[in-house]
A and B are shown apart, each in its own frame.
Chain A
Amino acid sequence: KAGVTQTPRYLIKTRGQQVTLSCSPISGHRSVSWYQQTPGQGLQFLFEYFSETQRNKGNFPGRFSGRQFSNSRSEMNVSTLELGDSALYLCASSPSGSVNSNQPQHFGDGTRLSIL
Chain B
Amino acid sequence: DQQVKQNSPSLSVQEGRISILNCDYTNSMFDYFLWYKKYPAEGPTFLISISSIKDKNEDGRFTVFLNKSAKHLSLHIVPSQPGDSAVYFCAASGGFSSGYALNFGKGTSLLVTP
Q: What is the interface of chain A, defined by CB distance below 8 A to chain B?
A: 4, 6, 31, 33, 35, 42-45, 48, 55-56, 58, 90, 92, 94, 97-102, 104-110
- Seen from chain B, the residues whose Cβ lies within 8 Å of a Cβ on chain A are 31-32, 34, 36, 41-46, 49, 51, 89, 91, 93, 95-96, 98-107
Q: How far is the CA of A55 from the CA of B101 in the complex (A)?
A: 10
Cross-chain contact A56 with B89 (CB below 8 angstroms): no
Specify which of B34, B44, B98, B105 is in contact with A56 (CB 8 Å cutoff): B98
Residues of A close to B96: CB separation below 8 A? 97-101
Interface of A is mostly: strand
Determine if A48 and B99 form an interchain contact, defined as CB atoms under 8 angstroms apart: yes
Looking across the interface, which residue of chain B has its beta carbon closest to that of A101?
B96
Whether A56 and B100, one on each chain, are in contact in the complex, defined by CB atoms closer than 8 angstroms, is: yes
Partner of A48, one of B34, B89, B100, B106: B100
B46, B49, B93 pick with most chain A CB within 10 angstroms: B46
Q: Are B43 and A108 in contact (CB under 8 A)?
A: yes
Minimum C-beta distance from A8 to chain B (A): 14
Which residues of A have CB within 8 Å of B31? 102
Decide if B101 touches A102 in the complex (CB within 8 Å): no
